[in-house]
């Protein structure tokens, strides 16, 4: 039964991802002539450039590539159709960050209390539950009594209902999957799709906005590091928002180190992937887009597609891998992490990473572009390489670094592919 629930949850996540792709790519965009006036490096506005085309009475921004002079078209596209100035933090960006912060707190808090319900149904007392979800587990060699309390609660879970310990491990992994990967999927969906949907088609708000978002992650990592200093009576008020989506039972005594690693590496991933997209990828994408299309809206779709493909391996492949590995994984192997902790992965989970990454990428390409019809073999090759590479790096990466490595691999692969496509080598 628990296996069926887990697979059903994965399918729900896939359909959510597909639904968000459809919403994101079909955003209705209304071009505003005045937007070009607030772009800091533009001296002349849209109407003046219309005069160079003999269209002095033109009062609306043209959606086609050839309606403005060549030197201005790229900047015009940036101001009006896709990305904002990297140095501008708009009011909408601030609102989105605040909304995302509170939504994230609500989700992780909900996960915390739902997990408590699961643990209570497995006959744990509130004291034993607290040893799992608010205790230090002996982090940084402090409070050995809390480490022992966690150990006793863990042994009780493994002996639950007289079942075989291996069967109960599946239940524990199922609870961990619900908590960690539900939150992981939510946070990546917010990072990938929310800006596109709420910022009128912009995959990223601005790099300064991303820096603010990353600083919040670092602050959370610091709070986890200082968890041993937080008085016991205050932990229940902080833990739901801090540990609800991160705290895994099977990480045992290394859970806090793993959370700090995940948040710190996640900060690096956020900054590096965003910087790569804004400062490296976008010019190549624009050149490829103008070679392929005559209208700005199709180029915008290409930008959104690349942003989605760069994150799909982490957003869905990684999630599916842990889900399938938790419920169906039999051929297991160890992957080491920081501070010597180990984590199990399975061959079945690794194959699921490839399968679900590839499926989600196929859906993204199909909904966001016409690449399958224009460049069939080249696009199939890209999708397969992204899926296979994601599987390899998810399987072999040092624990806690897989998300960073997967995103950088996907971005580098897409960058090489778009460069070769632009220059006619594929």
What's residue 175's pLDDT? 87
**Mean pLDDT, 10 residues at a time, the chain of 426 residues:** 69 77 68 44 45 46 54 56 53 73 88 92 92 92 92 93 86 84 80 73 66 86 94 92 86 87 87 84 83 78 86 81 70 59 70 87 86 91 94 78 87 93 81
Query: CA-CA distance, 129 to 124, in Å (whole number)?
Result: 6
What's residue 2's pLDDT? 61
Cα 109-206-261 angle, rounded to 5 deg: 45
Sketch the domain layout of the chain as residue ranges. Answer: 2-6+17-422
Q: What is the pTM of this model?
A: 0.78
Is residue 142 left, alpha or beta, with left meaning phi > 0 and alpha meaning psi from -120 to 50?
beta
Six token digits for residue 174: 């199922």
- C-alpha closest to that of 286 among 81, 425, 93, 27: 81
Cα 361-366-370 angle, rounded to 5 deg: 125
What's residue 179's pLDDT? 83
């Amino acid at each position: 039964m628990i296996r069926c629930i887990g697979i059903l949850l994965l399918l729900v996540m896939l359909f959510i991802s597909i639904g968000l792709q459809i919403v994101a790519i079909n955003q209705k965009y209304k071009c505003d002539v005045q937007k070009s006036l607030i772009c800091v490096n533009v001296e002349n506005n849209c109407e003046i450039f219309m005069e160079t085309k003999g269209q002095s009475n033109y009062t609306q921004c043209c959606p086609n590539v050839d309606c403005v002079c060549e030197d201005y078209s790229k900047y015009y596209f940036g101001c009006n159709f896709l990305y904002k100035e990297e140095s501008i933090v708009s009011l909408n960006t601030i609102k989105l960050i605040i909304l995302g912060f509170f939504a994230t707190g609500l989700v992780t808090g909900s996960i915390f209390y739902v997990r408590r319900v699961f643990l209570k149904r497995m006959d744990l007392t509130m004291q034993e539950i607290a040893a799992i979800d608010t205790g230090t587990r002996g982090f940084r060699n402090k409070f050995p009594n809390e480490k022992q309390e966690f150990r006793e609660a863990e042994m009780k879970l493994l002996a639950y209902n007289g079942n075989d310990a291996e069967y109960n491990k599946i239940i524990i992994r199922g609870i961990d999957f619900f908590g960690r990967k539900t939150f992981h999927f939510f946070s990546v969906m917010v990072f990938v799709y929310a800006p596109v949907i709420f910022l009128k088609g912009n995959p990223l708000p601005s790099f300064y906005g991303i820096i603010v978002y990353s600083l919040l992650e670092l602050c959370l990592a610091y709070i986890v590091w200082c968890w041993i200093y937080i008085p016991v009576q205050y932990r229940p008020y902080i833990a739901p928002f801090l540990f609800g989506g991160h705290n895994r039972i099977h990480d045992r005594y290394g859970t806090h180190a793993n959370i700090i690693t995940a948040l710190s590496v996640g900060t690096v991933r956020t900054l590096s992937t965003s910087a790569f997209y804004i400062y490296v990828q976008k010019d190549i994408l624009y050149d490829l887009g103008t070679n392929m299309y005559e209208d700005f809206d199709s180029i915008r779709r290409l930008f959104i597609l690349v942003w989605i493909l760069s994150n799909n391996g982490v957003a869905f492949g990684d999630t599916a891998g842990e889900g399938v590995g938790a419920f169906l994984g039999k051929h297991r192997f160890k992957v080491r992490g920081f501070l010597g902790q180990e984590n199990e992965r399975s061959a079945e989970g690794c194959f699921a990473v490839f399968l679900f990454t590839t499926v989600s990428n196929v859906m993204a390409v199909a909904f966001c572009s016409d690449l399958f019809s224009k460049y069939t073999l080249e696009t199939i090759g890209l999708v397969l390489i992204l899926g296979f590479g994601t599987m390899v790096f998810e399987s072999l990466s040092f624990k806690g670094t897989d998300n960073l490595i997967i995103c950088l691999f996907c971005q580098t692969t897409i960058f090489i592919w778009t460069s070769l496509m632009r220059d006619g080598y594929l």
